[in-house]
Structures are given as C-alpha cells and as structure tokens.
Amino acid sequence: MLMLFAALVQSARAREIFPINEGWRFFFKSERTSDNARHVTLPHSWNTDPLAQGYWLETTGNYQNGMFIPLEWASKRLFVKFHGVQSVADVFVNGAHVGTHRGGGTAFVFEITDKIRFGTDNALLVVVNNSSRDDVLPTSTDMNLYGGIYREAELIVTERTAISPLYLGSDGVLVHSRAVSAERVEGEIEVHLTAKEENTCSLHIEIEDPDGKPVFAKRQKAKIDGKAVVVPFAIEEPELWSPGNPALYTVTAAIGEDSITDRVVVRTGFRAIDISTDKGLAINGARIPLHGVVLHHDNALSGGTLVAKDYDADLNEVREIGANAIRSAVIPHAQYLYDRCDEQGLLAWIDMPFHRAPFLGDMAYFATPEFEENGILQLKEIIAQHINHPSVIMWGIFSQLWMRGDDATPYLRRLNDTAHAMDASRPTVACSDQDGAINFITDLIVWRQTVGWKRGSTDDVIVWRDQLHKNWGHLRSGVAYGGPGFLGHKSYTAQDEPRSNWLPEEKQTRFHEEYARNLQNDSLFWGVWIENLFDYGSARRPYGVNGSGLITLNRREHKDAFYLYRAMWNRETPTLHIVDKRHRLRDQEKQLFRIYSSAGIPLLTAGTDTLALTEYAPYQYRTDSIPLRGTVEIKAVAGTLRDSVTIRIGNVLKPKRLSVPRRTTSPQTTN
C-alpha cells in the first residue's frame, strides 16, 4: 500500500506530486480473483513479465493499489496521472469509475477528488487492455503493443483553484512562438485554469533566459470559465535554440493573490523552422542536412517498459552513428527522451498512430466516427504534451497508408488542419509508399522507398530519383529506407539455396550501400531517414523481431550498415571498418573486400600482400576479386585506426543434417 502523509504538504508548496509506482498488485482478468495477484512495480507489462512464459498475450489485466489519503487533504483536489497505459485504460477509485482513456502513446489525467474517502484507505483499480480494436489507433502495426501500465504514474495534489492538469494530459502551460528572429521573439503563453468555487484568480507569468535571468514578467487578473488564458510575450535579443546551441528558457506560471497557491514550471526554446525545395531544412536560417534514424519503443531486456537508463543508452547510439535527428515511430516516446533531445540539440519527428503494417489482412482506416474522433484526440494529446519541446520540429500525420476501401483523404485533411490549428509553428509530415492525393496533404512528404529490395535492382532507385527530380521537384521531399538483416542468417557455401524468411545481414548491407551511394547527398531531399536504428519486437513476424535495425534488439551487436552511416555522419570520431567480418569460413577462392573509412584511403593487407583499393562511393572502398586460400589475416590501417579479421578459405563443409530413423513399430516394454 502506498502511504501518503499530510506532513509532506506545506502551505508554501500547494501543489505536490507523489509517484505511485510502488505497491501495485497485478492479475489477469481471466483469473477471476485477485487472491494470487503478483506484486509489481511500474513501469510494468505482462508481455515482459515471467508470467507470459514466452507467449504473446493480447488480453486484459487488472492493477490494484491502495492509498491512505490524510484528512488534512479534504480541502484539496486530487488527480491521478498515468504517463502511458497500453492501450485502453479504465480507472476506478473505491469501485467508482472515474474515466476511460483510449490510446497507448500519451499521458492522461483524471480527477478523483469526489471519489476519495479522506482520513482512511482508498482502493485504486486500473483495468488495462492491449487487444486490437477498430476504434483505437493504431489499428495496424507490426510493432508490439506490450500492454500494461508501461510508464510511470503519479498523484497530483492541488488547491481548489489550480493550473489544470486535465488539459489533454499536458502540464496546462503551452508556449506558442509566433515570430522568431535574432532580434526578437514574440509569442503567447496558453494557460489552462480550473477551479471548484472561484471564477477569477491572479495569474503570474515569468520567463527566465538560459542563465536564469528574468526577461519577461506579467501579472494579470484571469477569468476561469473553461477557456484558456492567453498571455502575449516578447523577448528582445533572445538566445535562440539550435542543434549547435540548445538554449533553453524557463517559463513559470503561478496563481495566487498574496501568496502563490499553485505553480507550474516548463522549459522551452525559441527557433525558426523553414523547409524549402531549394534550401532544404533550416533552423534560424542555417541549413541543416538532416540525417535521421527511426526509433521504436522496446529492447530485449525491458520490452516496452523503457526507463531513463534505456533512453540514455539509445541516445548514446544515436550520437555514435552521427545522426542529428530521430523519428518516434507510430507513437511518442516518454517525455524523458525529448527532454534529453532539447538539451543535446537533437531534432525530433513525432508520429501519431495512423500507420499501416505490411500485412494484407490489415485495415489501417475505419471510416467510423469512433475511429476518427479517437485519432483526432490522440493527435491533440500529442501536440499539447510535446509543444514545449524545441527539439520537436514536425508532427507526423500518417505513415505508409495503403489506400484501399474507404477514401481517407478527407480525414487526413482534417488531421492536418487540426495540427495547424493547435500549432502553427511546426510543419506536418507524412511517410508514404503510395501514389495519389495523400502525398499532397501534409506540408512535408517523406518517400518510403524499397525498390531493389524484393524485386528489381537497387540501381533502379536512380531512375526513381531522377523522375522525382523531373516531375515532383516542387515537393518538399525527404526519403526513408531500410530492410531486415539477421546476424545468424548465414550461408556456409555459395551453392546454398535461399530459404523462406532467410534474411542475411549481407543483403541488408548491400541494400544500404547502394541507397547511401545514390541518395545521401542529393539536394532534392531535405532529410534522409534510416529505418531503423534498432531491431524491434514484432510478434507478428516469423522470428518475433523486425530485423531492419542497424543494431540488434539486445543492443549487443552493431550490423555492418551501422558503420557505413557512422563513417558518413559522425564527424567527431573517425571510422574504419572491414565489412562482413562475421563470415569467417568462405568457400570461394576469389574474395572481394569492402571497407568503410572516414579516415582517408586505408591500407589493406592480406597476410603479407598489400591489396589495392578503389573508392566505390564516398567512405566506401573496395578491392578487386583476389585469389586467396587457407587461413588469411586481413588488416586495415588508416591513420591511428586499425581493424582486422582472420578468415578461412576453401574446404568449407556444410553441416550435415541429423536424421532420426522413423519408428515403424511400437517399442517393446520390459517388465
């Protein structure tokens, strides 16, 4: 049971926030009773719990907790906030239903004041379901929706009049930039207020610069009528946020007459975003070639219950590869990730969950009022909860929709208009692998390209690129690409026949080499996005994993393609990497070697022989086919960098398949 003590509440700090991550008891609805409930700590998911026993579960789970609420809080207001529950949550307090939230990617808040028994214990129950539904987005994805209360939760205690925690799961304070230049920033601060009895209050707004110096202050009488209070502001000679200078301002909204009775503090930054066909993407007028990686929402150890250390480790890999942008695929990540992006100068694209997986049986769009209103609500929540992050530079409206059945374009326009109405400072974006009108709705379009992966040649991407230049060069285009490759999928000999669902790393590597060669430096694209940085869990896939990442799901192995982009993008740390080092046993006497180097042309030797290298593409070097036999050490040297591998060539035997004699009669029983 979670014990909350009134002694922690002081009059000078009317708003208090208490984590409620401990003391939960979990059991499946199918168990019918909580007698055998397990004690769990948030974040929690039943699909990463030992209870799952290796099975993928789409089901309903119950989470119970107890709260002792002091009698001294009888004059207060109480709210519960959940930062992420997948995917539908019903919250009960003392048996009374206080609300339903549909959507697993955003936070939500319910007021529970009227359901609380003060001075005694209270029962909190959250009923969670992660089954697919046609009225909750996403209705189609190959990304695991692990289920459970997979992010943290908290209890918020305020006075009767407060800055509202109820507005779309946000902090209730939204900062809008209207005009940004090196000379002046103009904007508005949108504050949502709530009160039980009062209809006015005194609202204080203060803005501090990155050094903590006040640069704006205003006090005004505010009417509490269910509408937001909008406070205009201006800052002279601001320090603008940029990837090279992630300057953050502090905005404080407080209410109270003689003393402060509630206060909310948020961070933000001011920057101007511009994307054009001739100049690409610019922040504050400076062009930034965008090198982005797509991030999903799990790893092998934590499943979908990522915490701060998981995000820190993943961001280290983002910096290691040299990317300057991330895309949150399908749903937003936790606020912690965007806080770090704000501080580190990483750019971010956040998708809303209007997505289609590549399965023929899936329908991504249901032309029903329930589906459409849920999508609008989730988009509003995403924008309200992330609008203060200067690192977030675009809102994703849809991804890889397959236009069949009902026409989704009117709904897509509605989503696009909703995003612009809530936030005029950021462009909208979509990722598309289809032709048609859907590509002309959002401000930006990112083409998801796979030519040469399943059919044709990767050289065909040149034809596509040239046609795009000729016919659609007026569009503000980016490009995204990727394909799966598994480390364990190796062929022992060149004569092995391809197997079903056999996706070797070598295929992924060569695909990325050709796409990087033909697309990376093309001025047509304001950004290039690699799908994905990490493999991610997908129970719908043959191996339970989508292997399109450049790093394995367990984060232990970097695939060859990772080093290709590290060589191209990472300007801080040089790269030297021999490709295909895992292929130690080779049966062909003639071998061709490939090297990635950002430290100049490397010196490559095979034993005592020096091998000639030619530059195939920027940062890619290759030898001709060279006859070798026996055990050979391959060494590469570039400046102070060294890489090597020892390979065995010739007389490679395929492993024999063991056969078990077929039993034709029943075994004899001996007494």
> Under a CB-based contact definition with an 8 Å cutoff, are residues 183 and 173 in contact?
no
Q: Which residue has the higher pLDDT, 505 or 662?
A: 505
Cα–Cα separations (whole angstroms), residue 467 to 54, 365, 463, 474, 475? 48, 30, 6, 12, 13
Provide the Cα torsion 58, 299, 531, 56; round to 10°: -20
Mean pLDDT within 451-457: 86
Looking up tokens 């030519």 gives: 451
Helices vs. strands in the chain: H and E counts, helices first: 7, 44
pLDDT tens across 113-147, in order?
999 999 999 999 999 999 999 999 999 999 999 99
> One-letter amino acid identity for 579?
V
For residue 130 the two structure tokens come to 């992660």
For residue 398 the two structure tokens come to 């849809």
Tell me the β-bridge partners of 61.
28, 128
- Give the whole-angstrom CA distance, residue 99 versus residue 112: 10
According to the model, what pLDDT value does residue 659 have?
40
- Give the whole-angstrom CA distance, residue 477 versus residue 475: 6
Mean pLDDT within 546-572: 97
CATH number of 585-649: 2.60.40.10
**435: Cβ–Cβ under 8 A, 6 or more apart, which residues?**
none
pLDDT band at 669; cut points 50, 70, 90? very low
pLDDT band at 670; cut points 50, 70, 90? very low
> Under a CB-based contact definition with an 8 Å cutoff, are residues 621 and 601 in contact?
yes
pLDDT band at 11; cut points 50, 70, 90? very low
According to the model, what pLDDT value does residue 52 have?
58
pLDDT tens across 220-232, in order?
999 999 999 999 9
According to the model, what pLDDT value does residue 55 have?
78
pLDDT tens across 366-417, in order?
999 999 999 999 999 999 999 999 999 999 999 999 877 889 999 999 999 9
> Under a CB-based contact definition with an 8 Å cutoff, are residues 481 and 450 in contact?
yes
> Under a CB-based contact definition with an 8 Å cutoff, are residues 549 and 299 in contact?
no
Domain boundaries, the chain: 2-159, 173-273, 275-572, 585-649
- Give the whole-angstrom CA distance, residue 29 versus residue 61: 5
According to the model, what pLDDT value does residue 54 have?
65
Q: Which residue has the higher pLDDT, 467 or 350?
A: 350
Mean pLDDT within 34-43: 94
- 3-state SS assignment for residue 342: helix
pLDDT band at 170; cut points 50, 70, 90? very high
According to the model, what pLDDT value does residue 470 have?
86
Cα–Cα separations (whole angstroms), residue 471 to 136, 465, 466? 37, 10, 9
CATH number of 275-572: 3.20.20.80
According to the model, what pLDDT value does residue 500 have?
66
From 42-56, 231-245, 616-630, the region with the lowest mean pLDDT: 42-56
- Give the whole-angstrom CA distance, residue 439 versus residue 1: 52
Among residues 300, 279, 378, the alpha carbon closest in space to that of 332 is found at 378
Superfamily of domain 173-273: Immunoglobulins (2.60.40.10)
pLDDT band at 2; cut points 50, 70, 90? very low
According to the model, what pLDDT value does residue 360 have?
86
For residue 388 the two structure tokens come to 């203060």
Mean pLDDT within 482-493: 80
Instruction: Kindly report the average pLDDT of the chain as a whole number.
Output: 92
The HSE-up count of residue 31 (CA atoms within 13 Å, CB side) is 14
Q: Tell me if domain 173-273 and domain 275-572 are identical in fold.
A: no
| 87 preceded by a cis bond (ω within 30 of 0) | yes
Interior CA angle at 371 toward 133 and 546, to 5°?
A: 50
- Give the whole-angstrom CA distance, residue 581 versus residue 647: 8
Model pTM score:
0.93
pLDDT band at 292; cut points 50, 70, 90? very high
- Give the whole-angstrom CA distance, residue 151 versus residue 231: 33
Alpha carbon 404 to its chain centroid, in Å, reads 27
Class of domain 2-159 (CATH, top level) = mainly beta
Q: Is beta strand 2-3 parallel, antiparallel or unpaired with respect to 60-69?
A: parallel
According to the model, what pLDDT value does residue 51 have?
60
